[in-house]
Each structure stands twice: as C-alpha cells, then as structure tokens.
C-alpha cells in the first residue's frame, strides 16, 4: 500500500507531500491542472524511464520519494535479497528516484542504491497503473495465467513436482548418453585403468593406516637397536653382570675371614639380583619391539604403489577406491550399452507421461475456471456501458519446448467490442475508456486475486456519465475494500464514492505557474463535486446534488 508520496521539482510541482490511506482515493481537478504529473512522478519510483524534461525549469534535479507498506509479501523481501539489498517481509519500503536536469538518474530502496530494472520489477508487485498507455498489470498477457490460477485455486504443486521429476530423468538420460559417447572413445584406457585399480584393490583409509604402521615399525627398530646396546653392556662374559658375580664370589671368600665385610657382601649380592632383573626386563622389552622385516618391506612397497597410482590419476591415495568404483561403473554402463540407455529412456518416458497427466488435469481446471470467470465478467459489462462487448479467457496449448512447472497452457484475456467482431487481445482495444472499464470488470470478477496492493485507474470514466459513472464508482468502491485504489476522474459519481478526495489545481503568481495538490475536507469535497457537476459556475442546485451523491455513496 502506498502511504506517502513526496515530490520535489517535477514539471510544475515545486514541493508536494501527500499522505495516502487504504480504500478509494479520488484525484480531481480541471483539465490541464496537472493530474498526469502525479502519475509521471509515481511512475518514476516504479522504474519508468527518467526523462530530464520532467525536472522543473530552473532546478538542478527532481526528486520523487514514495513510501510503501508491502504487507506480508515475502516475495518482495526475496526480490531484494536476490539483488543484495536488505529487507524483511512486512518491512516498510522507501523508494527514491532522482532525475538530473543535465541527464541521468539514480535510485535507492531504503537508502540502498538500486537499478531502474529492479524498481520496475518491484513496482510491478506494489502498484498497477491502468490507463490507455499502460503495458503492465492486466494488459500484459504474461500474468494472465497466474490470475486465472489464483481465481481457480489451481493445485500447481503436484504439477511442478512431476515436471521436476521429468527433467531429472531427462538429465540422467542425457548424462548417460554423453558418458557412453565419451567412454566409447576412451574404452581402451578405461579398461586398463579399471584393471590396474582392480589389481591394486585400494581401500579407503589404507594409505594412512599403512603409513602409521610403518612409522611404528621404524621407531621400534631404532629403540631395539638401543636396547641391544644396553643389554650388551650387561650380558656376556665381559659384561657388567658377569663382573658383579665374579666380584661377589671373591668377596664371599674374603668375608669369611673378615667379619666387617658382611655388609659389603650383602650390598653386592643385591646389586647382582637387581642387575639380573634389569637384564630380564630389557630382554622382554626387546622381544616386544621385535617386528617382521619382511612385513616392513611389504608395507613400503604397498605405499609406493598406492602413492604412485594416485599421482598418475591426480587424486589423493584415499580417493583411489572411489575412483575405482566410478571408473568401473562407467565401464559397466559402456558394456551395458543400449540396454542401459533403453531403461533410462523408459524411465524418462514414464516421467513425461506422469507430467502430461498432471498437466491435463490442470488444463481441465483452468478451462472450467475460464468459463466461470467469463460469465462473471460478462455480468459486469452491461452496467459499464459495454453490453455489446464479450470477453473470453483464451487457453492455448503450447509446444513441448515451452512446457514448464506451471503446465503447458498459454492464457490470455481476449475481447470482442462489437457483435460479430473477432476476439482480440485486451491490449489491442482502441478506446482508452473502454480499456479501463474492461480492466475494472475483470478486477471485480477476480476479486481477491486483484494482484498488487495498490491500483491506479487513469480516467476510467472517460466518455461516460450518469448510470454508467455510478456503476463504475460502485465497482471501484467494492474493489477498494480489498486493495488500495487511486482513481483520476472527471466523474462526480466516482468522486463521491471516494474515502479520500484530492484536488489538483494550477496557480499563477505572475511569474511562475505551479501545480499543487491538497486533501479536501467534507465541505471542500462537496464544493469540488458541485463544480464537477455544474462546470465553471457552481449553483446551489449543484451543491445540493453533490451532497446527495456523497450521502448515497
């Protein structure tokens, strides 16, 4: 919903700030007062082309700032995120567009730089401007299918799932065909590589495990060598233990003749015992460190082979097992040949058939909804002075290349303005007034599927009056109950239906002409509607009629 529009130095507007609210807002004023300037200013923040001619004479630049409350439209936050801008669902949007008098423009969204293309895409979600020159909203057939689906509440999720499954099957088949062609060219190399890997039979984690075992063995070899040197000092006829024992025997003979040597003999005996225990412990440790040299040789050879083959295939040693499986699978598919492709083709065809079944069901739902929508719109045409016109929701099955997750239907709203006249696209209608009234009829029929939260109708009542203008006002009021509407109007019957009324007027100070806009209170509103009824001279009868119109509305 548009909440505020601030305009600086655009055409005849020097400075203008307007606040908007939900419901129906009417913009009125004499011909030439500058109503189109407001639409041009709004168009700038919605991404329309920035023409330097819009800058007020004498100003360096023109600026338009619009504030929106997007509601819970998560798509807007996703769109901003896609373009690298910050924004949360439901967060207010401040869009600013600056146009320079010497050419060029820049834009921002919530004070973050943005492109005009993003403004156009975002604007399409926020505002629809309906008029004879508008090429968006209901005039763009690209959005007609979505409007019909919203009206029909078409269940599109199963169709999208079926489409995704079909495309996955297509991708798998295409990949298999490409692999088969590539593998056929490289069959000799593939057979050699698979045979070489099969002979080596690498296992995941094997290289790390073997390297750790080899490191342990090498460390044990160094420790065993050191222990052997220690044992050599203790063991043997010339070792320390033999010397201790010989000394103990000699001391034993001497101690028998000398009483005070008993303590020394006891200490020497303990040394012999402890040295013997040390020798036994060293022997056990040496046995624990013993390894099979042949096993070490086998490990080193295995590591050499693993690492060499890994370098050859440009993978890590731990990746050899997975590479073996991958190349073996490619060789198996090559060997299976056409039989494997046939199975994939059958799976693809089955997925396509499933998609077609879903697409046919969706088409049937759309066809039934199109009839209901056509009938609903037809009921709105006569009160809008379009009783000779007919509308048809055209459904056309597209070629397979254009099928997608939303089906195979092209949907377009077609109109015949006179009996016997052929149906033509809505955008081809010659009369701008008729076009706006057709759009209004469609919008009323679509009701909750109105689209953007803010709609602008530019002179929808052109060329009509009386009962038709009243019918237009009544339908605009109904639409305004579900979306914010702004209508540029010359019809008092339409203006009387408005929840808020804005008067657009020109003023002259002898040197400069300016356009201004002000919100009318109840008294001023009645006076403006009286002017619309009577023309230049406002009569008491016109004032009374204006009050009656407001009271009835």
What are 407-461's pLDDT values in tens digits?
Answer: 999 999 998 888 888 888 877 765 666 777 788 888 888 865 545 678 888 887 7
- Asked if the model's pLDDT at residue 135 lies above 50, the reply is no
Residue pair 363/406 in contact by the 8 Å Cβ criterion: no
Run of H or E including 372: helix 338-381
Phi, then psi, of 538 in degrees rounded to 5:
-90, 120
Determine the average pLDDT of the residues in 26-31.
87
pLDDT at 418: 82
Of the given ranges (106-120, 137-151, 212-226), which has the lowest mean pLDDT?
212-226
- Asked if the model's pLDDT at residue 406 lies above 90, the reply is yes
Reported confidence tier of residue 287, pLDDT bands at 50, 70, 90: low
Q: Would you call 1 helix, strand, or coil by DSSP?
A: coil
- Asked if the model's pLDDT at residue 2 lies above 90, the reply is yes
Phi, then psi, of 388 in degrees rounded to 5:
-85, -10
Q: Which residues partner with 62 through β-bridges?
A: 99
Measure the CA–CA gap between 317 and 319, rounded to whole angstroms. Answer: 5
Residue pair 489/461 in contact by the 8 Å Cβ criterion: yes
| Per-residue three-class SS string for 494-539 | HHCCCCEEEEEEEEECCCCEEEEEEECCHHHHHHHHHHHHHCCCCC
User: For residue 99, how far is the Cα from the chain centroid?
Assistant: 31
pLDDT tens, residue by residue, 151-190: 899 999 999 999 999 999 999 999 888 877 776 777 778 8
Measure the CA–CA gap between 221 and 532, rounded to whole angstroms. Answer: 110
pLDDT at 128: 82
Reported confidence tier of residue 502, pLDDT bands at 50, 70, 90: very high
Phi, then psi, of 301 in degrees rounded to 5:
-65, -45
How many CB atoms neighbour CB 406 within 10 A? Answer: 17
Q: Would you call 104 helix, strand, or coil by DSSP?
A: coil
Q: Which of 488, 453, 478, 521 is nearest to 26 (CA)?
A: 488
Q: Which of 53, 23, 24, 59 is nearest to 37 (CA)?
A: 53
* DSSP letter (8 states) at residue 12: T
* The two structure tokens encoding residue 53: 């001619």
How many CB atoms neighbour CB 119 within 10 A? Answer: 22
Q: Would you call 70 helix, strand, or coil by DSSP?
A: coil
Of the given ranges (37-41, 194-198, 419-423, 452-456), which has the lowest mean pLDDT?
452-456
Reported confidence tier of residue 209, pLDDT bands at 50, 70, 90: confident
pLDDT at 289: 57
Is the Cα torsion angle 363, 368, 369, 375 positive or negative in sign? positive
Q: Which of 57, 52, 44 is nearest to 13 (CA)?
A: 57
pLDDT at 384: 84
End-to-end CA distance of the chain: 23
pLDDT at 374: 93
Measure the CA–CA gap between 123 and 144, rounded to whole angstroms. Answer: 18
Calculate what percentage of the chain has a pLDDT beyond 70: 87
pLDDT at 501: 95
Measure the CA–CA gap between 345 and 349, rounded to whole angstroms. Answer: 6
* The two structure tokens encoding residue 543: 């004032």
Q: Which residues partner with 114 through β-bridges?
A: 107
Determine the average pLDDT of the residues in 463-492.
87
**Comparison of pLDDT for 181 and 548, the residue scoring more:** 548
Residue pair 73/88 in contact by the 8 Å Cβ criterion: no
Residue pair 431/408 in contact by the 8 Å Cβ criterion: no
Q: Which of 501, 489, 502 is nearest to 533 (CA)?
A: 489
Run of H or E including 75: helix 74-82
Q: Which of 22, 59, 54, 51 is nearest to 38 (CA)?
A: 54
Of the given ranges (70-74, 318-322, 352-356), which has the lowest mean pLDDT?
70-74
Reported confidence tier of residue 204, pLDDT bands at 50, 70, 90: confident
**Comparison of pLDDT for 31 and 327, the residue scoring more:** 327
CA angle 171, 175, 178 (to 5 degrees): 140
pLDDT at 140: 77
Q: Which residues partner with 106 through β-bridges?
A: 98
CA angle 150, 156, 157 (to 5 degrees): 135
Q: Which residues partner with 55 through β-bridges?
A: 10
pLDDT tens, residue by residue, 89-128: 778 899 999 999 998 899 999 999 999 999 998 888 888 8
Measure the CA–CA gap between 66 and 421, rounded to whole angstroms. Answer: 43
pLDDT tens, residue by residue, 260-277: 777 776 777 787 787 777
Measure the CA–CA gap between 302 and 529, rounded to whole angstroms. Answer: 99
Measure the CA–CA gap between 327 and 194, rounded to whole angstroms. Answer: 6
Reported confidence tier of residue 510, pLDDT bands at 50, 70, 90: confident
| Per-residue three-class SS string for 413-456 | EEEECCCCCCCEEHHHCCCHHHHHHHHHHHHHHHHHHCCCCEEE
Average pLDDT, the chain: 84
Reported confidence tier of residue 75, pLDDT bands at 50, 70, 90: confident
């Amino acid at each position: 919903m548009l909440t505020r529009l601030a305009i600086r130095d655009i055409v005849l507007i020097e400075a203008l700030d307007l606040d908007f609210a939900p419901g129906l807002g009417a913009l009125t004023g004499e011909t030439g007062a500058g109503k189109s300037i407001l639409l041009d200013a709004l168009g700038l923040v919605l991404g329309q082309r920035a023409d330097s001619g819009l800058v007020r004479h004498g100003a360096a630049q023109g600026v338009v700032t619009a504030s929106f409350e997007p509601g819970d439209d998560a798509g807007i936050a996703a769109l901003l995120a896609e373009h690298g801008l910050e924004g949360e669902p439901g967060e207010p949007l401040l869009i600013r567009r600056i146009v320079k008098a010497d050419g060029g423009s820049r834009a921002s969204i919530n004070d973050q730089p943005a492109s005009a293309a993003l403004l156009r895409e975002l604007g399409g979600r926020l505002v629809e401007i309906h008029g004879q020159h508008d090429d968006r909203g209901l005039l763009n057939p690209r959005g007609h299918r979505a409007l019909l689906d919203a009206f029909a509440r078409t269940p599109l999720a199963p169709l999208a799932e079926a489409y995704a499954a079909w495309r996955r099957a297509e991708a798998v088949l295409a990949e298999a065909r490409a692999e088969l062609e590539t593998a056929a060219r490289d069959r000799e190399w593939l057979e050699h590589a698979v045979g070489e890997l099969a002979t080596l039979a690498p296992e995941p984690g094997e290289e790390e495990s073997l390297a750790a075992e080899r490191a342990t063995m090498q460390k044990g070899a160094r420790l065993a060598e050191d222990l052997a040197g220690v044992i050599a000092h203790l063991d043997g006829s010339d070792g320390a233990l033999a010397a201790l024992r010989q000394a103990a025997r000699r001391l034993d003979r001497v101690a028998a003749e000398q009483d005070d040597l008993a303590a020394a003999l006891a200490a020497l005996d303990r040394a012999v015992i402890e040295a013997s225990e040390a020798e036994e412990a060293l022997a056990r440790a040496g046995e624990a460190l013993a390894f099979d040299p042949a096993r070490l040789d086998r490990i080193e050879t295995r590591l050499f082979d693993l690492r060499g083959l890994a370098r050859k295939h440009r993978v890590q040693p731990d990746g050899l097992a997975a590479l073996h499986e991958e190349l073996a699978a490619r060789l198996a598919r090559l060997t299976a040949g056409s039989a494997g492709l046939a199975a994939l083709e059958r799976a693809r065809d089955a997925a396509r058939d499933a998609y077609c079944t879903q697409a046919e069901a969706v088409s049937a739902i759309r066809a039934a909804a199109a009839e209901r929508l056509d009938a609903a719109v037809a009921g709105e045409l006569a009160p809008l002075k379009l009783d000779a016109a007919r509308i048809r929701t055209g459904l056309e099955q597209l070629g397979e290349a254009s099928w997608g997750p939303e089906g195979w239907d092209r949907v377009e709203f077609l109109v015949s303005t006179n009996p016997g006249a052929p149906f033509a696209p809505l955008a081809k209608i010659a009369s701008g007034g008729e076009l706006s009234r057709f759009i209004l009829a469609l919008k009323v029929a679509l009701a909750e599927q109105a689209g953007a939260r803010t709609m602008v109708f530019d002179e929808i009542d052109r060329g009509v009056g009386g009962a038709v203008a009243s019918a237009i006002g009544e339908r605009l009021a109904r639409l305004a109950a579900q979306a914010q509407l702004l209508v540029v109007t010359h019809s008092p019957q339409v203006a009387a239906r408005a929840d808020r009324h804005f008067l657009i007027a020109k003023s002259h100070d002898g040197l400069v002409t300016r356009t201004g806009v002000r919100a009318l209170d109840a008294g001023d509103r009645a006076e403006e509607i009286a002017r619309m009824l009577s023309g230049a001279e406002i009569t008491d009868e016109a004032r009374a009629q204006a009050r009656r119109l407001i009271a009835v509305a």
